[in-house]
A and B are shown apart, each in its own frame.
Chain A
Amino acid sequence: MIAAIQLNRSELLDAYERMFAIRTFEETMRREFAAGSIPGTVHLYCGEEASAAGICMLLQHGDMIASTHRGHGHCVAKGCDIEGMVKEIMGRRDGLCGGKGGSLHIADLTKGMLGANGIVGAGGPLACGAALTAKLKGTKDVSVAFYGDGGSNQGAILESYNLARLWNLPVIFVVEDNGYAEATPSGWAVSGSQVRRANAFDIPAAEVDGNDFFQVYDTAAEMIERAREGGGPSLLHIKFTRFYGHFEGDAQTYRGKDEVAEARKRDPLDVFRNRVLDAALLERSELEAVEGKIKALLEDAVIAAKNSPFPDEADLLTDVYVEY
Chain B
Amino acid sequence: MPRKSYRQAINEALRQEMERDPSVILMGEDVSGGTGAPGEQDAWGGPFGVTKGLYTKFGPDRVLDTHIAEVSYIGAAVGAAATGLRPVADLMYVDFIGTCLDQLMNQAAKFRYMFGGKATTPLVVRTSYGVGGNGAAQHSQALYPILTHIPGLKVVLPSSPYEAKGLMIQAIRDNDPVIFFENRALYDTMGEVPDEPYSIPFGQANVLKEGDDVTIVAFGRMVSFALTAAESVQKLGISCTVVDPRTTSPLDVETILETVAETGRLVVVDEATPRCSMATDIVSLVSTNGFATLKAAPKIVSAPHSPVPFSTALEPLYLPSVEKIEAAILAVLDKAPINNAA
Contacts and interface: CB of A to CB of B under 8 A. Distances in A.
- Decide whether A and B are members of one complex: yes
Given A129-B77, A166-B67, A156 B72 contact: yes
A118 B71 contact: no
A109 interface: yes
A130 B83 contact: yes
Contacts of A155: 69, 71
Interface in A109-146: 109-110, 114-115, 117-119, 122, 124-134, 136-137, 143
Interface string B77-110: 1111111110100000000000000110011001
A261 B267 CA distance: 70
A99 B117 CA distance: 11
A160 B75 CA distance: 9
A163 B203 contact: no
Interface stretch (A5-13, A100-108, A179-187, A248-256): A100-108
Interface string A298-324: 000000000000000000001111111
A227 B69 CA distance: 23
Contact of B103 (A98, A122, A318): A122
A129 B116 contact: no
Given A122-B102, A323-B175, A133 B107 contact: no
Contacts of A101: 114-116
A109 B84 contact: no
Contact of A98 (B82, B110, B116): B116
A66 interface: yes
Nearest to B121: A322
A217 B152 CA distance: 38
A15 interface: no
Contact of A109 (B106, B119, B175): B119
A132 B82 contact: no
A100 B81 contact: no
A126 B75 contact: yes
B176 interface: yes
Interface size class on chain B is: 35 or more
Among B66, B75, B113, B176, the most chain A Cβ lie within 10 Å of the Cβ of B75
A12 B176 CA distance: 42
B118 interface: yes
A95 interface: yes
B79 A125 contact: yes
Nearest to A138: B61
A109 B82 contact: yes
Given A95-B116, A115-B111, A124 B83 contact: no
A128 B154 contact: no
A27 interface: no
A99 B72 CA distance: 29
Contact of B116 (A96, A166, A324): A96
Given A114-B82, A119-B106, A122-B106, A97 B74 contact: no
A156 B71 contact: yes
A68 to B, nearest CB: 14
B80 A130 contact: yes
B149 interface: no
Given A126-B107, A320-B151, A324-B176, 13 more contacts: A66-B79, A105-B110, A125-B71, A125-B79, A132-B80, A136-B25, A136-B85, A137-B84, A155-B71, A163-B73, A318-B117, A321-B152, A322-B120
The 4 closest A-B pairs by CB, nearest first: A129-B79, A125-B75, A98-B116, A159-B72
